[in-house]
Amino acid sequence: MPHREQDTGLNLPNVPQSRRASRLAHTQEKLAHKKHTKAAMKVASLSVNGYGGTSLYSRENRWSKLNQLVRDHKIAIALLQEVHLTEERTAEIEEMYSERMKVFASPHPDNPTAMEGVAVILGKFLIKTEDASAKVLVPGRALLVKLTWNKNTSINLLNVYAPNVHGVGEENAQFWETLRAKLSEPENIDWQPDMVAGDFNMVEDPVDRLTIRSAPAATTNALDGLKLLLKVQDGWRETYPSEAQYTFSRNNGQSRLDRIYCSETIARTARKWTLESVGIDEVDHDMAWVQVALIDAPIMGNGRWAMPKSLIKNKLVKSHVIETEKLALVTAQETSVNRTNTHNPQTVLVRWIHQTREEARRVEKTLISPITKKV
């Protein structure tokens, strides 16, 4: 029986097998790249207050809700804090949600099921995850992730869960100084983060805390040192310089502990800086998120206007179409005999289309106005 080549679904010409294989591999690479690449993506940070229950199947478990949150909000990268993950729990999560997400995690070294822990979720339907990698700076508290955004652009993110501030804030300050020292090491030059996000457990500006009071100088000075090294800025505060909004409440006090810092390059295309509740039981922080775009991404307009389906059955529009259509048909027939460059069936059709579109827009405005007035 004669040998038949495997049907690849591609209509390739009669070329040598090596060239066919090369073309097929190139096409598959382009398709895979197209599937995972977006010109803009949403990056979010959320402190989740633990794992929830004792297993993934517990009613209290957070991860089914986090999966839904990432899916519904179309989050490409989610940086999570206080996740209480072990290596076994992380493996179970990746297995259960393998089609949708890739997970990197750094557990607390001594008591992972009850303390600290950071994790990063990458949405497989929204961003390329195959070559993503991670590096732990401080176990359970600081995790770097490096990934390819598109074919020519990569992005590095640092997920942080800082120690609580007590007294003069020595432990919190030491955390920022440790990160600054580690990120200054030659081996970490290629890991310099473009974005830093997480639960900072302190505020820089008194307006970010209610009741208003300043954080210990040691903590703000140490964080300033890290920011200067990385050249990052608080995107939400830069966008809303005088507003007060908080992500955490306790004992009649409120603070904006959850923040996203980014480089100047990222800030130029970042938009929709948002703080919002996620509605997950026992999660006591609000989520911070932002949409970032490639610096060379095309500016997207509103697109071409299309007549709403409701107007197609509108009596005024139907009457206009019927009357002008007849006139346009007669004119087109006349111009087909005495044709010129400016007066011919094609130009008659274009004018009729424009007139119909303007009439539909006029009618649409008259229908919308009464509704707007009521609102």
Q: List residues forming the annotated binding site for Mg(2+).
A: 82, 199, 201, 284-285
Which residue type, as a one-letter code, is found at position 267? A
Instruction: Please give the Cα distance from 115 to 129 (Å, whole number).
Output: 28
> Which member of 84, 97, 199, 246 is catalytic?
199
Residue 94: partners with Cβ closer than 8 Å, 6 or more residues away: 101, 102, 103
Active site residue 261: no
Q: Give the CA diameter of the chain.
A: 93
DSSP state of 262: E
Closest CA to 120 of 64, 60, 70, 190: 70
Active site residue 199: yes
Instruction: Please give the Cα distance from 347 to 335 (Å, whole number).
Output: 10
Residue spans of alpha helices (H) in the chain = 17-36, 63-72, 87-96, 170-183, 217-230, 235-239, 264-269, 309-312, 315-335, 345-374
Active site residue 73: no
> Which member of 97, 161, 246, 261 is catalytic?
161
> Which member of 36, 84, 108, 285 is catalytic?
285
Instruction: Please give the Cα distance from 103 to 225 (Å, whole number).
Output: 30
> What residues are designated binding site?
82, 199, 201, 284-285
Provide the CA 326 distance to its chain's centre, in angstroms.
Answer: 51
Show which residues are catalytic: 161, 199, 285
